[in-house]
Amino acid sequence: MTYLQARGVVRSYGPTPALRGVNLDIAEGEVVAVTGPSGGGKSTLLHCLAGILRPDAGEVRWRGERIDTWSEAARSRLRRSTFGVLFQFGQLVAELTAAENVALPLLLAGTGRREARTAALTWLERLGVADLADNRPGEMSGGQQQRCATARALVTEPRVLFADEPTGALDTLTGEQVLTSLVRLAREQGTSVVLVTHEPRIAGYADREVVLRDGVVDHGGLGLETPLAGG
């Protein structure tokens, strides 16, 4: 079934159009890489699909229901209950241990302390960093932090994981390892993934690649980029 749908999504920052009418469908369990040059609108599209940003025009639907018209509070609830987000720098809470960081989304959702800790440890183990459960982010490498952030993004077993350059701050090998774990675990639980990356190699892990250029999906067709004559 179709999970996410963008129809004619337009979004500008002041006079700068970042998205100029994007259409995109993402199916249940599908791993989609959103690629294209810097400034092409990748992050903006991810934010619109995840309900973080509201489009100026067009529609965003989750399982057929428009969410772009929802209030900030309703979209925030959807993000916490159904979506997971992961950014380039994991944004772990510096004062909390790895296990506490991973347990946090569950505690916010009302899960009991003991159950949240158990789930956190399970997810740290799945990401191969169980031995760091009691370490704080400052005591971990970038790759270890991003594994921990990945565990935190998946611990709620989201239906869609939005990942914006999740391996962009890591060296090639480490980035590839973190991404392999992320995609494997998402596939195991049928989570769709929207993966923003500017690295073609990383896009190879996806089922499908969507290229955004100048705020529209580039279908690679001849003539699409040719400006109309005259005017």
**Contact footprint for ligand ADP (CB under 6 A):** 13, 16, 18, 36, 38-44, 88, 164-165
Reported in sequence order, the residue ranges of the chain that DSSP labels E, i.e. its strands, are 2-13, 16-27, 31-35, 57-62, 65-66, 83-86, 160-164, 192-196, 208-213, 216-217
Cβ proximity to ligand ADP, 9 vs 119, nearer residue: 9
Cβ proximity to ligand ADP, 41 vs 143, nearer residue: 41
> Of 228, 207, 211, 209, whose CA–CA distance to 220 is shortest?
211
Three-state SS letters, 40-51:
CCHHHHHHHHCC
> Of 224, 222, 203, whose CA–CA distance to 213 is shortest?
224
Cβ proximity to ligand ADP, 41 vs 55, nearer residue: 41
> How near is the Cβ of 218 to ligand ADP at its closest, in Å?
12
Q: How far apart are CA 199 and CA 217, in angstroms?
A: 17
Contact 147, 178 (CB under 8 A): yes
> How near is the Cβ of 12 to ligand ADP at its closest, in Å?
8
> How near is the Cβ of 43 to ligand ADP at its closest, in Å?
3
> How near is the Cβ of 230 to ligand ADP at its closest, in Å?
27
> How near is the Cβ of 54 to ligand ADP at its closest, in Å?
13
Q: Phi, psi at residue 180, to the nearest 5°?
A: -60, -45
Cβ proximity to ligand ADP, 45 vs 120, nearer residue: 45
Q: How far apart are CA 103 and CA 79, in angstroms?
A: 16
Cβ proximity to ligand ADP, 98 vs 216, nearer residue: 216
